[in-house]
Structure 1
Amino acid sequence: MHVHNLSEQNSILNTFIAEMRNISVQKDSMRFRRNIERAGEILGYELSKTLDYQSSEITTPLGTAKENLPNNDIVLCSVLRAGVPIHNGLLNYFDKAENAFISAYRHHKHNPESFEIIVEYLACPNLEGKTLILADPMLATGQSMVATFEALKPFGTPKNIHLVSVIGAKAGVDYLSKHFTKDTHLWIAAIDDTLNDRGYIVPGLGDAGDLAFGEKLQH
Structure 2
Amino acid sequence: MAATVTVVDHPLVQHKLTLMRDRDRSTKGFRELLNEIGMLLAYEVTRDLPLEPVIIETPIEATEGRRIAGKKLVLAPILRAGVGFLDGMLSLMPAARVSHVGIYRDPESLQAVEYYFKSPSDLADRTVLVLDPMLATANSAVAAIDRLKSRGARDLRFVCLLAAPEGLARLQQAHPEVPVWTAAIDSHLNDHGYIVPGLGDAGDRMYGTR
TM-score bracket, normalised by the shorter chain, equals over 0.9
Q: Name the structure 1 match of 2:81.
A: 82
Q: Name the structure 2 match of 1:46.
A: 44
Identity of aligned residues (%): 33
TM-score (norm: length of structure 1): 0.89
Cα distance, 1:59 vs. partner? 1.7
- Asked if the contact 1:169/1:193 (under 8 Å) is kept, the reply is yes
Cα distance, 1:57 vs. partner? 1.9
- Asked if the contact 2:38/2:88 (under 8 Å) is kept, the reply is yes
Flag structure 1 segments of 5+ consecutive residues without an equivalent.
Answer: none
Q: How does 1:68-147 map to 2 (within 5 A)?
A: 68-73=66-71, 74-109=73-108, 114-126=109-121, 127-147=123-143
Amino acid paired to 1:124: S
- Asked if the contact 1:72/1:131 (under 8 Å) is kept, the reply is no
Q: Secondary structure at 1:215's aligned position in 2?
A: coil
- Asked if the contact 1:134/1:164 (under 8 Å) is kept, the reply is yes
Amino acid paired to 1:3: V
Q: Secondary structure at 1:83's aligned position in 2?
A: helix
Q: Distance in 2 between matches of 1:51 and 1:33?
A: 28
Higher strand share: 1
Q: Name the structure 1 match of 2:147.
A: 151
TM-score (norm: length of structure 2): 0.92
Provide Cα deviations, 1:66-121, integer angstroms capped at 9, x if missing partner: 22221142111001111112122221111211111111111134xxxx32210111
Provide Cα deviations, 1:112-150, integer angstroms capped at 9, x if missing partner: xx3221011111002122101100011101111001111
Paired residue total? 206
Query: 2:163 is matched with which residue: 160, 168, 192?
Result: 168
Provide Cα deviations, 1:29-56, integer angstroms capped at 9, x if missing partner: 1111111111111111011211111112
Query: 1:2 is matched with which residue: 1, 4, 7?
Result: 4
Q: Name the structure 1 match of 2:21.
A: 21
Cα distance, 1:152 vs. partner? 2.0
Deviation larger for 162-171 or 100-109: 100-109
- Asked if the contact 1:51/1:72 (under 8 Å) is kept, the reply is no
Moved >6 Å (runs of 4+): none
- Asked if the contact 2:41/2:181 (under 8 Å) is kept, the reply is yes
Q: How does 1:194-213 map to 2 (within 5 A)?
A: 194-213=188-207
Provide Cα deviations, 1:155-204, integer angstroms capped at 9, x if missing partner: 2133x21100011111111111111133x221111110110001100000
Task: Pick closer, same or farther for the CA change 1:72–1:45 going to 2, 3 Å.
Answer: farther
CA RMSD of aligned residues (A): 1.4
- Asked if the contact 2:105/2:112 (under 8 Å) is kept, the reply is yes
Q: Distance in 1 between matches of 2:163 and 2:38?
A: 14
Q: Distance in 1 between matches of 2:101 and 2:51?
A: 29
Cα distance, 1:58 vs. partner? 2.2
Q: Distance in 2 between matches of 1:181 and 1:129?
A: 20
